[in-house]
Amino acid sequence: MTIPSPRFLFLQINKACNLRCGHCDFWKRDDSDSHNYLSLARHRELIAEFASLSKKGTTVIAGGEPMLNLERFFDLTRYSRELGLESISVVNGTRIRGDAMADRMIAEGPTRIAISLNSHRAEVHDRTRGVVGSFDKAVNALRLLIRARERAGSKTKIDVMALIFDETCSEIEEFFDFALNDIGADKMKLNFLQPSFGHDDPGDEFFEKHGKLDVEATIAAIKQSDIRFKLGFNPIWLRQVEMYLRELSAAQDLDKGWGSRVQTSEHICNTHDRNIMVDHYGMARLCFASDYRGQKLEAYGDLAAFWNGANDIREKMQNCNRFCGISHSVRRETSTTRSRSTTQNIGLIERLRGMIAPVGVI
């Protein structure tokens, strides 16, 4: 059986972050063990092998805040470009402070750059990101990048990565207006609150406090935004969002975060069919969860061997209905019908799944 090519290679290059987000604990970590991370040469070798597997693939440069390691960040994005790969990175914007860095991002950086915003209101963003002034820095970075793109005549995409939680769910239309019309971003991606990332404690205060959204207000705001801005939202995705929010709303143990017993009633993730996540030390997995088998990548050829030999993991993951299935980076359904039309290999993957999955498992 032929396995479809992987579409995304996630490379985690650091752990540190210079913000203090309530919904993420990576800022509590550091890079004190960076001497044990993959070497730059090994990262480049992984990208080269990925390019041989996926001619139209995309590398995702991740952290921490990946731009805290500028040397590696730009080396990997330049190398991805040299090999004909697209590249994506979501950054907080704090390192893009002037024209020189914005120009460098457009010339050498990811071919799709996303800046994280928790709200179109500075007070909400700064409070939930834990650093006063972080909103102004993020918005300034977006404006600098857009001007730099115009100067260069580049096709680099510049997006806003929005966090939707209880304080922003009824303001989605205003958020879209700010991102698309005021800033001029190409797209605003909706990322719905999940349990806190990198969180190992038994309690999750932020998820408990902010995880129950007004379902009707959220869906109404998305639909109104769709009409006003002609976004072309995918109705299947929208139904799954509503399902996710209703199940969060009914949950009684959101304080347990990733330890919550609540799961989505549908399997809405397909990371196992398209993504390879490689951590700082070279451990490859089909998602970020550590309780599915991974494989240490020691030499050229190991990436292909892992991908082609992972059907046992795929079969197990088809029964995984964790909260993270709603995430933009792993969900099966794209948010818009336009982007959905570019991923028609989903049908092939579904047919292949039928060859490896038990009858009735989707």
- pLDDT for 352 equals 40
CB-CB neighbours of 352 under 10 Å: 18
Strand partners, 89: 113
Write the CA distances from 105 to 8, 27, 60, 207, 233, integer angstroms. 20, 23, 15, 33, 29
What is the Cα–Cα distance from 276 to 60, expressed in whole angstroms?
Answer: 10
- pLDDT for 350 equals 39
Tens digits of pLDDT across the chain (362 residues): 578 999 999 999 999 999 999 999 989 999 999 999 999 999 999 999 999 999 999 999 999 999 999 999 999 999 999 999 999 999 999 999 999 999 999 999 999 999 999 999 999 999 999 999 999 999 999 999 999 999 999 999 999 999 999 999 999 999 999 999 999 999 999 999 999 987 777 899 999 999 999 999 999 999 999 999 999 999 999 999 999 999 999 999 999 999 999 899 999 999 999 999 999 999 999 999 888 999 999 999 999 999 999 999 999 999 999 999 999 899 999 999 987 655 544 443 433 444 333 222 22
Spatial contact of 4 and 352, defined as CB atoms under 8 Å apart: yes
Structure tokens given for 62: 């991740």
Structure tokens given for 351: 């047919």
- pLDDT for 338 equals 84
How would you classify residue 158: left for phi > 0, otherwise alpha for psi between -120 and 50, otherwise beta? beta
- pLDDT for 290 equals 87
- The number of CA neighbours under 13 Å toward the Cβ of 297 is 30
Q: Is the pTM for the entire model greater than 0.85?
A: yes
Domain architecture of the chain: domains with CATH: 8-356 (3.20.20.70)
